[in-house]
Amino acid sequence: MIKHKEILFLLSLAALILLSMAGTYGVIETSDARYAEIGREMFVSGDWLHPNLLDIHHYHKPPITYQITAFGYQLFGVNSFGARFFLQIAILIQMLLVYLLTLKFVPNKKVALWASAIYFTFPMVLIASRNLTTDVFLTTFVLLSIYTWVVYRKSGNFVWLYLFTFSLALGFLTKGPVVFIVPVVFILLYNRMEEAKQQWSVHHIMAWGLFLIIASSWFIYLAIDNPAFWDYFIGKQTVDRFSHNVFKRSEPFWYFMVLLPVLGMPWLLLLPYFMKKLKVKIGMQNIESILLLSILIPLIFFSISTSKRVLYILPFYPLISVMIALMFYRVDEKVSLLSLRIVSGYALLLYFILGIAPWIKGKILFPPALTMISLVLIFIWIWLYRTSFMTSKTKAVIISFITATYFLLSATALFSYSVETFKIATPVSHWIKQNHLDNREILVYNRRLPSLAFEMNRSTISLYDGSSLLDREVQFEKDEKWKKYLYNLKSTNEQERLKVFVENTSTLLISYKQDIPNTQGWLLSQYKNHKHLGKWYIYY
């Protein structure tokens, strides 16, 4: 690897940036908290095959993401750094794979280094590095499958074929059939350009047999225990996610088409210009056109789907970075100079916004240090822009990398500095512990709050009073232990069961946006004191 010392330096620098502040704030009450809590319950219980969310089985996704997260807790303890550690490692692996994949298309280490650095600069990638979901790990396996297929197609070595199906199997155990979408489109297009070095043989059968064994292992294990799992996974978790809005996540058709360029700034703004100057057209037999179609065709598929989340399109960005680097390498000096100006303009705009943000009054508090850092970066920008010992292309990549670093670290500092403004339970958990209330049962009214269970590192009790957030799937529970952690306040019997231990043995959390109806007034009467903290009222 000595001959690749540049990428080793880049990865080391990126690792320092990604890991430096990954645990400075708690998990956010979105997918981040949900996956962190499922991983915590897996780690605490020692059951690595049956995911649980707030002590009820949660089979929405295969177990790999939860298992990786639980392993993070084994290394660093149950905390936000442990939850996010392997996210950062996954991003670094993706950067390495982008570098290696680019080298397969053009034997130029500088271009491959550009591709890796550009990938790091995408806002989408930086957001993903701080948001615990399946998508970061899925992207790693998608990219690994594409890289191993390219190497296999070029070399004919069957080892790479086995690695290809192995990576697909791991992706399947991460997020199911969605792992195929980008690789299959890419392979169908790439095979037309790169002729096969090997004919069909027993190795193909064995490689796909390996895939079937690994990919189906968890599903078969559960289905043997309960055949109803087949209908659940194939129906609700696969077909219905695409065709029906079962989880109420519907966004407009154009949702991803807008987000894709916005979260790829500033480089995706340059892509149409590069294509025009290089006369790259869709359908041409070149790698740029293949990469472009491998993004556009899946983009249409995801746009048609009723279930849409920002990070679903993360697997597109490694291919985008490779495509941009290949085109950036080929454009002339005039185009590269304009690229430098656009990248620099984007950087200056960000420096200016973050520089004045601490002086604008609002609900979100920005660290005052951002003003001084912005000024320092503006002086660095001036020096880089005016220096003569670097090409305009190298300058653009470096300025973009510095800007992305500033964006990531300032956003991380923002969450740490304004923790009460965001959906982070750390202040609540600290207050409960400081006031010695952590030995009581913790009740959460009409909400699902995995972030609090995570921060307290213990089970909490949810009180259902009509919120769809607490529509739990209990059909796979083998006993009624789950009722200890979920009470239905619409039921008189459930209320009586709750009253047994509420008084003097519990702490109640209610969102400031929620009103307790008169029918549940008895609940508040059990508590003598209350505290307003951020987005919550704490009754004790």
Per the CB < 8 A criterion, the answer to whether 131 and 311 are in contact is: yes
* Least reliable range by pLDDT among 44-53, 427-436, 498-507: 498-507
Q: What is the pLDDT of residue 235?
A: 63
pLDDT tens-place string over residues 225-234? 888 887 787 7
pLDDT digits (tens, 9 = 90+) for 106-147: 999 999 999 999 999 999 999 999 999 999 999 999 999 999
Predicted local distance difference test score (pLDDT) of residue 133: 96
- Separation of alpha carbons 481 and 25, rounded Å: 32
Going by the DSSP 8-state scheme, the letter that residue 53 receives in this structure is: E
Residue 404 pLDDT: 97
Are 421 and 363 in contact by the 8 Å Cβ rule? The answer is yes
Give, in order, the Cα–Cα distances in Å from 169 to each of 43, 139, 180, 213: 23, 13, 10, 9
Which tens digits make up the pLDDT trace of 162-192?
Answer: 999 999 999 999 999 999 999 999 999 999 9
Query: Domain-by-domain residue ranges, the chain?
Result: 2-242, 334-417, 426-539
> Given this model, what pLDDT does residue 455 score?
95
Its pTM stands at 0.94
Question: What does pLDDT average to over the chain?
Answer: 92
Q: Is pLDDT above 90 for 507?
A: yes
Task: For residues 460 and 444, give the distance between their C-alpha atoms in angstroms, rounded to a whole number.
Answer: 7
| Phi, psi torsion values for 200, nearest 5 degrees | -60, 135
Residue 127: closest CA among 320, 328, 267, 265: 265
